[in-house]
Amino acid sequence: HFFSFPCVFHLILPAHQYHFFLAVIEAQKVDVLPEVTGYLQNDVPLSCQFIQGPKDSNITQFQWDLLQPEGEDITLAVSNSQYGVHIPESPLKGRVEIAEQSLIIKKMEMTDAGSYTCRIFTFPSGSFEGTTKLVVGGKEIECFIHSVAKIISVLLFDYIITLFLR
């Protein structure tokens, strides 16, 4: 992408106008959404795209990791240009798919919420990464929480009545 921005200077004596044009070149990077909302029991795609810069790089491998605040990240999927796709053991095994560089989580569960990092390894430019926060939202979760609250209140009321009648 090239953009031009004219800069105007006014000198005291004599008044001249100078125009400078600045070319903006987009650097190589990984483009991900900062936050994605998923819904219980629905599939949720986490997009990841490698943006080429002024020099071409070949993607040799990419992977998706689930970030763990208390320990090592969990690798969910690895795709290598020579060896293909590998889905290692993880809490999401059997529910993740790769589509280009994006990760699709099938039948989202409450425990799937968290931060997911897409890492892309290129030659000769090196590695790039981007992180997406996956949150659970929508009417499904509100209905679930409301139902659980009702069950708890009924059980608590039943317990209090039982204590009172003893």
CATH number at residue 84: 2.60.40.10
Q: Total domain count for the chain?
A: 1
Within a domain: residue 115? yes
Q: Residue 113's domain spans which residues?
A: 29-137
Within a domain: residue 98? yes
Contact 25, 53 (CB under 8 A): yes
Within a domain: residue 142? no
Question: Identity (one letter) of the amino acid at 105?
Answer: I
The enclosing H or E element of 80 equals strand 74-80
Contact 132, 46 (CB under 8 A): yes
**In the predicted model, is pLDDT for residue 6 greater than 60?**
no
Within a domain: residue 8? no
Within a domain: residue 2? no
Q: Rounded CA gap, 144 and 53, in Å?
A: 46
pLDDT in tens, 70-126: 878 999 999 999 999 999 999 999 999 999 999 999 999 999 999 999 999 999 999
